[in-house]
Chains A and B, each alone.
Chain A
C-alpha cells in the first residue's frame, strides 16, 4: 500500500517532467538554433560548442535578397492587431453588456447567434471574403484584414464578456439609476471601469488568435509586403529552404514576444479561459 502510493507519486512526477520537456523542446531549440550557422545546424545541432551566428537575425529581420523580412511582417501584424483588438473589444462590450438588460428569454435567444457564428467553419466564409476583398480592391490590405478579424473575433468576445457582465453586481447599477445616470452613462462611467480585467483577458486572447491566424490571411494577403507574421513564415519557409538559420531566427521572432506577453499575463488569461468556460 505504502509502496504503491510511493510509486504513484513517482510516476506522476516523471510524467510532469516528461510533458514539460516535450512541450519546451521546440521553444528551446528554436532559440538555440536561431543563433547558429547552417553548417552547425546540419552537422551537429545538439552541440553547444560552436560559433554563434547572430547575423541570422539580421537576415530574418531584413529578409532574403529580393524578399521582405520580419520587420515588414511585424508591422503588418501590428496594424491588423491594432485595428482588430480595440474594435472587437469596444463593439463586443457594448453588445455583451446591453444584452444582459434584456428579459431572460429574449437574452438567451439572442445569444444563440454568436454561439452559432463560432461554429461556422472558415471554409464556409473564405470564398466570399476573397470575392468582396477582390471587388473592392482591398486584397493585400492589412487595414481591411484587421476590420475583418474584428468581426471574426466578435462572437467569442461577446460570449465571454456577456458571461462576465451577467455577474456584474446589480446594486451598483441600481445605485447608478437612482443617481439619475442613463444606461449609456452607467455603461461608460461604471461598468467599463470595473471590467478592465475581463476586457484585458479577452483582448489578450484575441491578440493570440490574430497573431496566429493563417487560413484567411493566406488568401487575402497576396503581396509579400502585406503579409502578417504567420503568413509571412510560410513565404519565408519557401524562400529560404536551404538555409535554416534565418528561418529559426524568424520563428524566434514570431514566437518569443508573444510567449513573454503570455507569461506576464498568464494568470489573467488562464483565469479567463478556465472561468469563462468553453469557448475559444
Chain B
C-alpha cells in the first residue's frame, strides 16, 4: 500500500515523499513525539475511568482501605428514590434546555447571517455569554430573580406583573428558572457553530434560488435548513450531552435545592461523594452516566460518519 505514490508510480522503499517516507520508515519519531500526550491522556482519562469502575464495586468512605463489595452499590443506587428523581430531573433539564438552546441558537444564527454590516459585531457580542464564567453569570441571575430587590422582579413590578416572585425558593418554578438561565448562557456556542455552517453554504446556490423566484422564507426552508442539517444534528447531540453533564450553573444557582427540586445527576453524585462520603455509590452513578453518554455519543458518531457529515 505504502509503495504506491499519489500518481500511481511504484516507488522504492526509501522514498522521501512525505506520506510513504515518514509513515513507513520512521514511525519511532512519531511515537516518541506522541509519548507525552499519550502519558497525559492515560493519566487524565484512562486510569481514572478504570479507577472509578473499580471504586463502583467497592465501599470507600474517603479514608482507609477500599473494600470490594461487588454489585451492592449498583443495586442500592437503582433502588434509591433520590437517584430516580435525579435521573428524571436530569432528563427534564437536558431535554428542555437542549430544545431551548438549539431553537434560540438557530434563530440567532439566521439573525446574524443577514449579509449586513452589523453581522460581524453582532457575532462577537452574541458570543459573550460563552466567554463569561458560568458561575459568575449564575450568581448574577440568582441575585436578579430574588423577590423585590432583584432586577428581574423590579422590572416586572414596573410593568405591573408583580415584584414578589420567589422563583428559586419554589420547587415548582426553580427548575424553569435554571433552564432559562442555561439557555441564556449556552446558546452562544451552538450559535457560532451554526453560523459557521451557514457561512459554508455556496452563495451561488442561494443566488440561483433567488433567480428562480424563491422568497426569503423559501430559501431558508428549502436550501439553508437542509444544508446546515448535519451540523445542526451533531451540535444538538453534543448540546444534549453537555446539558446532561451540567453542574456549575445549577450548583451556583440552587445547590440542588429547594428540597432537591434541581438535584440533577451531577449534583446527586457530588452530594453522595463529598457530603455523605459514599464514594462507591457516587462512582456507580458516574459509571451509569458514562455508559449512557458514551453509547449515545458513539451511535451519533457512527450516524454522522456514515453520512460523512462532518470531516
Contacts and interface: CB of A to CB of B under 8 A. Distances in A.
Contacts of A178: 16
Centre residue among A12, A26, A29, A103 by max chain B CB count within 10 A = A26
Given A15-B107, A127-B273, A233-B135, A114 B41 contact: yes
A212 B192 contact: no
Given A98-B33, A115-B301, A128-B47, A270 B192 contact: yes
B132 interface: yes
Given A215-B248, A270-B192, A255 B143 contact: no
A214 B111 contact: no
A23 B129 contact: yes
B16 A122 contact: no
Nearest to A32: B151
B227 interface: no
Interface in A232-280: 233-234, 237, 244, 247-248, 251, 254-255, 258-259, 262-263, 266, 270, 273-275, 277-278, 280
B19 interface: yes
B36 A94 contact: yes
A30 B140 CA distance: 7
A212 B52 contact: no
Interface in B154-211: 154-155, 158, 184, 188-189, 192-193, 195-196, 199
A125 B29 CA distance: 31
B111 to A, nearest CB: 5
A41 B149 contact: yes
Contact of B41 (A103, A117, A247): A117
Contact of B52 (A41, A42, A128, A215): A128
A116 B296 CA distance: 12
Interface string A187-229: 1000000000000000000001001111100110000000001
Contacts of A155: 41, 45
Contacts of B132: 26-27, 212, 254-255, 258-259
Contacts of A170: 18
Given A101-B30, A119-B241, A5 B216 contact: yes
Interface residues of A, number: 98
Given A29-B151, A95-B33, A103-B23, A233 B131 contact: no
A64 to B, nearest CB: 15
Contacts of A212: 132-135, 248
A129 B273 CA distance: 12
Q: Chain A's interface: helix, strand, loop or mixed, by majority?
A: helix
Contacts of A173: 18
A99 B30 contact: yes
21 contacts: A15-B111, A23-B129, A29-B144, A42-B148, A45-B149, A94-B34, A94-B37, A98-B33, A98-B34, A124-B48, A125-B52, A127-B279, A128-B52, A151-B43, A219-B270, A219-B274, A233-B136, A234-B135, A251-B140, A273-B189, A280-B189
Given A121-B293, A125-B286, A215-B247, 14 more contacts: A23-B125, A45-B151, A46-B158, A101-B23, A115-B301, A117-B44, A121-B290, A170-B18, A184-B29, A230-B136, A237-B139, A259-B131, A277-B310, A277-B311
Interface of B: 1-2, 16-19, 21-24, 26-27, 29-30, 33-34, 36-38, 40-41, 43-45, 47-49, 51-52, 55, 62, 107-108, 111-112, 114, 118, 122-137, 139-144, 148-149, 151, 154-155, 158, 184, 188-189, 192-193, 195-196, 199, 216-217, 231, 234-235, 238, 241-242, 244-245, 247-248, 251-252, 265-266, 269-270, 273-274, 279, 282-283, 285-287, 289-290, 293-294, 297, 301, 310-311
Interface of A: 5, 8, 12, 15-16, 19-20, 22-24, 26-27, 29-30, 41-42, 45-46, 91-92, 94-95, 97-99, 101-103, 106, 113-117, 119-132, 134, 148, 150-152, 154-155, 158, 163, 170, 173-174, 177-178, 182-184, 187, 208, 211-215, 218-219, 229-231, 233-234, 237, 244, 247-248, 251, 254-255, 258-259, 262-263, 266, 270, 273-275, 277-278, 280
